[in-house]
Chains A and B, each alone.
Chain A
Amino acid sequence: TQLLEQSPQFLSIQEGENLTVYCNSSSVFSSLQWYRQEPGEGPVLLVTVVTGGEVKKLKRLTFQFGDARKDSSLHITAAQPGDTGLYLCAGRFGNEKLTFGTGTRLTIIP
């Protein structure tokens, strides 16, 4: 059974600060996706990473895929209240389904 661990589980920071959340597994991902989910809504895709060492940027969000494809990080620069939400990483381990982490619940305090 592949497990995805996300850390931290909860993060509350002031507007304007930077933060990083992590996603780790003991197994190699064939690909990994990051989603953000608002209460009562489905996850919204932020990015897909496939290649080890890959870095993708989406405005103030930077996503990194580990060289060994077992870990990933999401870095947010100058956090804004609109960044508040549940951030989920989801990996594929060579099969078709996504295995999700438990998520990082981020709160940005104005």
Chain B
Amino acid sequence: DTGVSQNPRHKITKRGQNVTFRCDPISEHNRLYWYRQTLGQGPEFLTYFQNEAQLEKSRLLSDRFSAERPKGSFSTLEIQRTEQGDSAMYLCASSFRQGFADTQYFGPGTRLTVL
């Protein structure tokens, strides 16, 4: 399977704990995006990388959130001191920017539950 993969698929944690999620994009894709989706809503943009450079961050991404893509391949999203409001599906997408086209392909997501 050469699609976008995310681990873990599910994470349950207690409030105040730190969590880290991993995303492995499609291998030739140079762009990687993180989104968050709460129940009944469409995904909301958090941040994106082109290769290893983080080019844009949403104001939704508070200081407790940090994302990295150290070698321009996989990415991690860390949430420190989790809060119940962080409970959501965290989605990763990747794309290959070529001219005007930039179709994003999504992974299966990591569902976070903060107790």
Contact = CB atoms under 8 A, between A and B. Distances in A.
23 contacts: A35-B106, A42-B6, A42-B93, A42-B106, A42-B108, A42-B109, A43-B106, A45-B103, A45-B105, A45-B106, A48-B101, A95-B56, A96-B48, A96-B55, A97-B48, A97-B56, A97-B58, A98-B35, A99-B45, A100-B42, A100-B43, A101-B42, A102-B40
Contacts of B101: 31, 48, 50
B91 interface: yes
A43 B91 contact: yes
A103 interface: yes
Q: Which 5 A-B pairs have the closest CB atoms?
A: A100-B42, A42-B106, A97-B45, A42-B109, A42-B108
A42 B5 CA distance: 10
Interface of A: 4, 30-31, 33, 35, 40-45, 48, 50, 88, 90, 92, 95-103
Contacts of B104: 33, 45, 90, 98
Nearest to A4: B42
B91 A42 contact: yes
Residue from B35, B43, B44 with most neighbouring chain A CB atoms (10 Å): B43
A4 B44 CA distance: 12
B114 to A, nearest CB: 18
B25 interface: no
Given A97-B48, A101-B42, 9 more contacts: A33-B104, A43-B43, A45-B105, A90-B43, A95-B56, A96-B56, A98-B43, A98-B45, A103-B42
Nearest to B9: A40
Given A42-B109, A102-B40, A33 B45 contact: no
